[in-house]
Chain A
Amino acid sequence: MINIALPKGRLGEKVYKMLEKAGYACDEFDKDSRKLIFTDEKNGVQYFWVKPSDVPIYVQRGAADVGVAGKDILLEYDADVYEMLDLKIGKCRMAVAAKNGYRDDLSKPLVVATKFVNIAKEFYAGKNRDIDIIKLSGSIELAPILGMSDVIVDIVETGTTLKENDLGVIETILPISARLIVNKAKYKFKNDEIDNMVQNLKKELPDD
Chain B
Amino acid sequence: MKKTDFFDEERLFFDLKNLYEGFGYKQFKMSKFEEYGVYLENKKFLRSPYVITFTDLNGKLMALKPDVTLSIVKNTKATNLQSEKLYYKESVYRPQGATKEFKEISQVGLELIGDVDGYGILEVLSLAGKSLGAIDKNFVLDVSHLGVVLGLMEEYGIVNGDEVLAYVSSKNVHDLKTYCQQKGIDPAFADKVSLLLSAKGSFCEVLAIAKQVATNEVSKQAVDELQIVCDSFGTMGYGDKVRLDFSIINDTDYYNGIVFVGYVSKSPSLVLSGGRYDKLAGKFADVKALGFAIYLNELAMYKQTQYGDETDVLVLYSQNSDYAKVLEYAQQQTDLGKKVLVAKTAPADKKFAQVVEL
Interface flags, A192-208, vs B, CB<8A=1, else 0: 00010000000000000
B247 x A82 contact (CB < 8 A): yes
> For the complex, is B175 an interface residue (Cβ under 8 Å from A)?
yes
> For the complex, is B170 an interface residue (Cβ under 8 Å from A)?
yes
User: Given A61-B268, A184-B270, A195-B200, A189–B263 Cβ distance below 8 Å?
Assistant: yes
B171 x A189 contact (CB < 8 A): no
A183 x B268 contact (CB < 8 A): yes
B138 x A189 contact (CB < 8 A): yes
> How many Å from the CB of B350 to the closest CB on chain A?
29
> How many Å from the CB of A157 to the closest CB on chain B?
20
> For the complex, is A60 an interface residue (Cβ under 8 Å from B)?
yes
> How many Å from the CB of B40 to the closest CB on chain A?
21
> For the complex, is A108 an interface residue (Cβ under 8 Å from B)?
no
> How many Å from the CB of B41 to the closest CB on chain A?
23
A62 x B268 contact (CB < 8 A): yes
B265 x A189 contact (CB < 8 A): yes
B268 x A188 contact (CB < 8 A): no
| Closest residue on chain B to residue A84 by CB atoms | B171
Q: Looking at chain B, what size class is its interface with the partner chain?
A: 10 to 19
Residues of B within 8 Å of A60, CB to CB, are: 268-269
Residues of B within 8 Å of A63, CB to CB, are: 268
> How many Å from the CB of A148 to the closest CB on chain B?
28
A83 x B263 contact (CB < 8 A): no
**Cα–Cα distance between A85 and B170 once the two chains are bound (Å):** 11
**Cα–Cα distance between A84 and B98 once the two chains are bound (Å):** 24
A86 x B174 contact (CB < 8 A): yes
A188 x B142 contact (CB < 8 A): yes
Contact of A83 among B138, B175, B243 (CB under 8 A): B175
**Cα–Cα distance between A57 and B98 once the two chains are bound (Å):** 10
> For the complex, is A185 an interface residue (Cβ under 8 Å from B)?
yes
> For the complex, is B172 an interface residue (Cβ under 8 Å from A)?
yes
> How many Å from the CB of B48 to the closest CB on chain A?
13
**Cα–Cα distance between A57 and B97 once the two chains are bound (Å):** 11
> For the complex, is A140 an interface residue (Cβ under 8 Å from B)?
no
What is the interface size of chain A, counting residues whose CB is below 8 A from a CB of the partner? 19
User: Given A60-B268, A62-B268, A82-B247, A188–B263 Cβ distance below 8 Å?
Assistant: yes
A81 x B170 contact (CB < 8 A): yes
Interface flags, B136-179, vs A, CB<8A=1, else 0: 00101010000000000000000000000000001110110000
**Cα–Cα distance between A84 and B175 once the two chains are bound (Å):** 10
> For the complex, is A121 an interface residue (Cβ under 8 Å from B)?
no
Residues of B within 8 Å of A8, CB to CB, are: none
B268 x A83 contact (CB < 8 A): no
> For the complex, is A93 an interface residue (Cβ under 8 Å from B)?
no
Contact of B170 among A57, A83, A189 (CB under 8 A): A83
> For the complex, is B18 an interface residue (Cβ under 8 Å from A)?
no
B270 x A83 contact (CB < 8 A): no
> For the complex, is B212 an interface residue (Cβ under 8 Å from A)?
no
> For the complex, is B267 an interface residue (Cβ under 8 Å from A)?
yes
User: Given A188-B142, A189-B140, A82–B171 Cβ distance below 8 Å?
Assistant: yes
**Cα–Cα distance between A81 and B172 once the two chains are bound (Å):** 10
User: Given A82-B170, A86-B174, A188–B269 Cβ distance below 8 Å?
Assistant: no
**Cα–Cα distance between A86 and B171 once the two chains are bound (Å):** 12
User: Given A82-B247, A83-B175, A185–B263 Cβ distance below 8 Å?
Assistant: yes
| Closest residue on chain B to residue A63 by CB atoms | B268
B268 x A185 contact (CB < 8 A): yes
A86 x B268 contact (CB < 8 A): no
A62 x B170 contact (CB < 8 A): no
**Cα–Cα distance between A195 and B199 once the two chains are bound (Å):** 11
Contact of A185 among B98, B171, B175, B269 (CB under 8 A): B269
Chain A 158-205 residues near chain B, CB threshold 8 A:
183-186, 188-189, 191, 195
B270 x A185 contact (CB < 8 A): yes
User: Given A185-B270, A195-B200, A85–B265 Cβ distance below 8 Å?
Assistant: no
Residues of A within 8 Å of B265, CB to CB, are: 189
Residues of A within 8 Å of B140, CB to CB, are: 188-189
Residues of B within 8 Å of A81, CB to CB, are: 170
- The 29 listed contacts between A and B (C-beta, < 8 Å) are A57-B98, A60-B269, A61-B268, A62-B267, A62-B268, A63-B268, A82-B170, A82-B171, A82-B247, A83-B170, A83-B172, A83-B175, A84-B171, A84-B172, A85-B174, A86-B174, A183-B268, A184-B263, A184-B270, A185-B263, A185-B267, A185-B268, A185-B270, A186-B268, A188-B140, A188-B142, A188-B243, A191-B200, A195-B200
- Closest 8 interchain pairs by CB? A62-B268, A86-B174, A188-B140, A83-B172, A185-B263, A82-B171, A83-B170, A188-B263
Q: State the A residues within 8 Å of B (CB).
A: 57, 60-63, 81-86, 183-186, 188-189, 191, 195
Please give 16 more A-B residue pairs, beta carbons under 8 A apart, in addition to A83-B175, A86-B175, A186-B268: A62-B268, A81-B170, A82-B172, A83-B171, A84-B171, A85-B174, A183-B268, A184-B263, A184-B269, A184-B270, A185-B263, A188-B243, A188-B263, A189-B138, A189-B140, A189-B263
